[in-house]
Chain A
Amino acid sequence: MSLITAHDLSKTYLKGETRVEALKGLNFEIEPASFVSFVGPSGSGKTTLLNLIGCLDKPTSGVLRVDDTDISSLNTRLAAAFRGEKIGFIFQDFNLVPVLTVYENVGYPLVLVQNTPSSERKQRILALLDAVGMAEQKDKYPDQISGGQKQRVAVARALVTKPKLVLADEPTANLDHKTAYMVINIMKKMKNELGTTFIFSTHDRKIVGEAEIIYTLEDGKLAGKEV
Chain B
Amino acid sequence: MFDLFKIAVRNLMRYKRRTLLTVLLVTIGVVSVLVFISVSGSFKNMMIGQITDSFLGHIQIHKKGYVASIDSLPLTLNLSPNALQKIEKAINENPDIEAYAKRVKFGGMFSNFVETTNVRLNGVYPEDEVRTVPLLFSRVREGEKTIRTGEILVPELLAKGMKVKVGDTVVVIATNRDGSVNGKQFRVAGILESATGPGGRDGYIHIDDAAEILRMDTMEISEIAIRLKNFDKLHEVLDTLKRQLSNDLNKQAKPAFEVHTWEKLSPFYNIARMIDIMTFFVKLMLIAIVLISITNVMVMAVYERVREIGTIAAIGTLPGKIVAMFLIEGFSLGLFGVVVGDILGIATISILSMAKLSFNFGRQKGLLLSPSINPQDILLISIIVITVSVVASLQPAYKASRMNPIDALRHV
Q: Does A213 contact B (CB under 8 A)?
A: no
Segment among B5-13, B73-81, B252-260 that sits at the interface with chain A: B5-13
Known: A95-B308, A100-B7. A113 touches B14 (CB 8 A): no
Q: Is the CB of A95 within 8 A of B319?
A: no
Which residue of the partner chain B has the closest CB to A109? B315
Q: Does A223 contact B (CB under 8 A)?
A: no
> In the complex, what distance in Å separates the CA atom of A225 from the CA atom of B318?
36
Q: Which of A76, A83, A108, A113 contacts B319 (CB 8 A)?
A: A76
Q: Does B216 contact A (CB under 8 A)?
A: no
Segment among A28-36, A51-59, A63-71, A202-210 that sits at the interface with chain B: A51-59
Most buried by B among A82, A98, A111, A112: A112
Residues of A within 8 A of B321 (CB): 112
Q: Which of A88, A99, A158 contacts B13 (CB 8 A)?
A: A99
Known: A51-B406, A54-B314, A56-B405. A99 touches B14 (CB 8 A): yes
Q: Is the CB of A77 within 8 A of B318?
A: yes
Q: Which of B11, B313, B406 contacts A57 (CB 8 A)?
A: B406
Q: Which of A25-62 contact B (CB under 8 A)?
A: 51, 54, 56-57
Known: A56-B314, A83-B314. A111 touches B3 (CB 8 A): yes
Known: A99-B11, A99-B13. A87 touches B316 (CB 8 A): yes
Per-position 1/0 for A75-94, Cβ under 8 A of B = 01100111111011101010
Q: How far is the CB of B36 from chain A (nearest CB, A)?
A: 37
Which residue of the partner chain B has the closest CB to A154? B311
Q: Does B135 contact A (CB under 8 A)?
A: no
Q: Is the CB of A98 within 8 A of B14?
A: yes
> In the complex, what distance in Å separates the CA atom of A82 from the CA atom of B317?
10
Known: A56-B405, A56-B406, A112-B321. A99 touches B7 (CB 8 A): yes
Q: Is the CB of A83 within 8 A of B10?
A: no
Known: A51-B406, A56-B405, A95-B311. A81 touches B316 (CB 8 A): yes
Q: Which of B363-412 contact A (CB under 8 A)?
A: 405-406, 409
Q: Does B307 contact A (CB under 8 A)?
A: yes
Q: How far is the CB of B31 from chain A (nearest CB, A)?
A: 30
> In the complex, what distance in Å separates the CA atom of A51 from the CA atom of B308?
17
Q: Which of A99-115 contact B (CB under 8 A)?
A: 99-100, 108-109, 111-113
Q: Does B171 contact A (CB under 8 A)?
A: no
Q: How far is the CB of A156 from chain B (nearest CB, A)?
A: 13
Q: Does B99 contact A (CB under 8 A)?
A: no
Q: Does A145 contact B (CB under 8 A)?
A: no
Q: Does B352 contact A (CB under 8 A)?
A: no
Q: Is the CB of A112 within 8 A of B317?
A: yes
Most buried by A among B4, B14, B310, B316: B316
Residues of A within 8 A of B314 (CB): 54, 56, 83, 89
Q: Does A97 contact B (CB under 8 A)?
A: yes
Q: How far is the CB of B324 from chain A (nearest CB, A)?
A: 10
> In the complex, what distance in Å separates the CA atom of A107 from the CA atom of B312?
12
Residues of B within 8 A of A157 (CB): 315
Q: Is the CB of A112 within 8 A of B312?
A: yes
Q: Which of B1-51 contact A (CB under 8 A)?
A: 3-4, 7, 10-11, 13-14
Residues of B within 8 A of A84 (CB): 315-318
Known: A95-B308, A98-B14. A113 touches B315 (CB 8 A): yes
Known: A56-B406, A57-B406. A99 touches B10 (CB 8 A): yes
Per-position 1/0 for B311-337, Cβ under 8 A of A = 111111111010000000000000000
Q: How far is the CB of A160 from chain B (nearest CB, A)?
A: 10
Q: Is the CB of B10 within 8 A of A80?
A: no
Which residue of the partner chain A has the closest CB to B13? A99
Q: Is the CB of A81 within 8 A of B409?
A: no
> In the complex, what distance in Å separates the CA atom of A112 from the CA atom of B324?
11
Q: Which of B13, B315, B319 contacts A77 (CB 8 A)?
A: B319
Which residue of the partner chain B has the closest CB to A99? B10
> In the complex, what distance in Å separates the CA atom of A89 from the CA atom of B317?
13
> In the complex, what distance in Å separates the CA atom of A97 from the CA atom of B309?
10
Residues of B within 8 A of A161 (CB): 316
Known: A97-B308, A99-B7, A100-B7. A83 touches B14 (CB 8 A): no
Which residue of the partner chain B has the closest CB to A79? B316
Q: Is the CB of B315 within 8 A of A89?
A: yes
Q: How far is the CB of A69 from chain B (nearest CB, A)?
A: 14
> In the complex, what distance in Å separates the CA atom of A83 from the CA atom of B406?
14
Q: Is the CB of B317 within 8 A of A80?
A: yes
Known: A97-B308, A99-B11, A99-B13. A109 touches B406 (CB 8 A): no
- Name 25 interchain pairs, CB-CB below 8 A, sorted by A: A76-B319, A77-B318, A77-B319, A80-B319, A83-B315, A84-B318, A89-B311, A93-B307, A95-B308, A95-B310, A95-B409, A97-B311, A99-B10, A99-B14, A100-B7, A100-B10, A108-B312, A109-B315, A109-B316, A111-B3, A112-B4, A112-B317, A113-B315, A113-B316, A158-B315
- Residues on B lying within 8 angstroms of A by beta carbon are 3-4, 7, 10-11, 13-14, 307-308, 310-319, 321, 405-406, 409
